[in-house]
Amino acid sequence: MSLVSNPREVEITDVQTTRIHGNFTWTLVRIYTDAGVTGTGEAVLGPKADEYIDYAKRIIIGKNPVDIDARCTDLFDRLIHVGGMNGIGVTAISGIDIALHDLAGKLLEVPAYQLLGGKHRDSVRVYCDSHAGEHMDDIDDAEGDPYSPASYADAAEEVVGDGFDAIKFDLDATDRYELDTRNKHLNARAINYRADIVRAVTERVGDRADVAFDCHWSWTGDSIRRLASAIEPYDVWWLEDTVPPENHDVQIQVTQATDTTIAAGENVYRVEGARRLLEQQGLDILHPDVPKTGGMLETKKMADMAKAYYIPLALHNVSSPVGTMASAHVAAAASNFLALEYHAREIEWWDNVIGEAIITDGQIEVPDEPGLGVEIDRDVVAEHMAGDDTLFEDA
């Protein structure tokens, strides 16, 4: 029996937020209804997203939560003058979108992936973001250098030992051999150092795991073209966020100048932001962030556009288990999905936010319960709240 007799008669009564301080600040969003049913979402990498949500909620209060696209379209359109196109505004709406999927799924008694068209897979592959040797208890390198190529390889061995068959490292974790970080230029020595990291990790891991490398938009097009060329002989899954994100012409040139697979997308907002890069083959892998760059429905739209250009989808993710599970539902619903990021290996209480472990042997089983299929543990959230936040009301 349905939770309510007619879900289309339900109205949104309030939207509240609570921020958790983990390795990032996670803004949890809860939407309340006059039927007593709530939905929980998350916005991430959006400073003051909670204040934006408090400002925006007037647009959807009194409206039916089941029409998710209509609610989000209203938010994007009516808030376009205060960031409805990109940045924190879109991130805030992303959190609302996720909460709406959780809420509508509960009201309609279907899992969130069903609202996105149904699932292509029962579980989704997870790749683990790793941090050279800086989080290791023992560093085998003779000099005890956490950023030596050998330490990167040791760290890779450790993560693979945890059960992950997909991992990622930052190539900009240290500015070693960069003479001036402002000019974003890598000389030959700086290129060779990073190529040595790639070689050490890929040779150590072999065929036990796919390995990607992140550049965080750190270097010029010329430097990236030379770096990408230097690592072409190695088994690199992808090279991520290679050049600063403002100029898509350079991104397109970099992608088309190398056989190294190039991924990007966590700094392009909504499907319109990704359009040109997809149409002009400016990336090999689309890499948006569900709780940041548009939400679940918008990311599925991006995935469908990418599919038209035969471009696979990977999902950037630095969120709590709430945003991670929202991303998992998108991953299940997108036929061209590759892998979903996990970026909290060092946060011992990460699973406790929802009271259960969701990653096993590098996979997330997508729940069939209504909505996202997870609920937060209020005591854990209260223990880790950021600043002087207050916990949102109970469901």
What is the tens place of the pLDDT at every residue in 91-115?
999 999 999 999 999 999 999 999 9
Angle between helices 221-230 and 188-205 (to 10 degrees): 40
- Residues in the chain, how many? 395
Contact 286, 271 (CB under 8 A): no
Q: Which two tokens stand for residue 200?
A: 């050490």
Q: Distance between the two ends of the chain, CA-based, in angstroms? A: 20
Is pLDDT of 133 > 70?
no
Is pLDDT of 79 > 60?
yes
Is pLDDT of 144 > 90?
no
Q: Kindly indicate whether the domain formed by 115-365 is annotated with CATH number 3.10.580.10.
A: no
Instruction: Tell me what pLDDT residue 135 has.
Output: 56
Contact 285, 312 (CB under 8 A): yes
Q: pLDDT by residue (tens digit) across 263-307?
A: 999 999 999 999 999 999 999 999 999 999 999 999 999 999 999
Q: What percent of the chain has pLDDT over 70?
A: 97
How far, in Å, CA of 383 to CA of 214, rounded?
32
Instruction: Tell me what pLDDT residue 395 has.
Output: 75
Is pLDDT of 125 > 50?
yes
Is pLDDT of 143 > 80?
no
Cα within 13 Å of Cα(20), Cβ side: 31
Q: Which two tokens stand for residue 68?
A: 């998710």
Q: pLDDT by residue (tens digit) across 320-332?
A: 999 999 999 999 9
Of the given ranges (103-107, 173-177, 345-349, 359-363), which has the lowest mean pLDDT?
Answer: 173-177
Angle between helices 270-279 and 248-256 (to 10 degrees): 40
Q: Where in the chain is the domain with CATH 3.20.20.120?
A: 115-365
Strands (E), 278-381: 285-286, 313-315, 337-342, 359-360, 363-365
| Long-range interactions of 179-187: CB distance < 8 A, separation 24+ | 181/218, 183/220, 184/218, 184/219, 184/220, 184/223, 184/244, 185/219, 185/220, 185/222, 185/223, 186/219, 186/223, 186/226, 186/227
Q: Give the 3-state secondary structure of residue 364.
A: strand
Of the given ranges (118-122, 130-134, 334-338, 360-364), which has the lowest mean pLDDT?
Answer: 130-134
Displacement of CA 181 from its chain's centroid (Å): 26
For the chain, give the mean pLDDT. Answer: 95
Angle between helices 49-56 and 88-108 (to 10 degrees): 60
Q: Which two tokens stand for residue 304?
A: 């469908």
Residue 4 binned pLDDT confidence (cut-offs 50, 70, 90): confident
User: 7-111+377-383: what fold?
Assistant: Enolase-like; domain 1 (3.30.390)
Residue 364, beta-bridge partner list:
124, 359
Is pLDDT of 2 > 80?
no
Contact 308, 336 (CB under 8 A): no
Q: Give the 3-state secondary structure of residue 216.
A: coil
In DSSP notation, 49-101 reads HHHHHHHHGGGTTTS-SS-HHHHHHHHHHHTGGGTSSSTHHHHHHHHHHHHHH
Q: Choose between 75 and 394: higher pLDDT.
A: 75
Q: pLDDT by residue (tens digit) across 202-252?
A: 999 999 999 999 999 999 999 999 999 999 999 999 999 999 999 999 999
Instruction: Tell me what pLDDT residue 389 has.
Output: 86
Q: Where in the chain is the domain with CATH 3.30.390.10?
A: 7-111+377-383
Q: pLDDT by residue (tens digit) across 5-27?
A: 899 999 999 999 999 999 999 99
Q: pTM of the full predicted structure?
A: 0.96
Instruction: Tell me what pLDDT residue 134 has.
Output: 64
Instruction: Tell me what pLDDT residue 136 has.
Output: 52
Cα within 13 Å of Cα(1), Cβ side: 2
Which residue carries 């500015």 as its tokens? 175
Calculate the CA dihedral of residues 219, 222, 223, 227 and round it to 10 degrees: 120
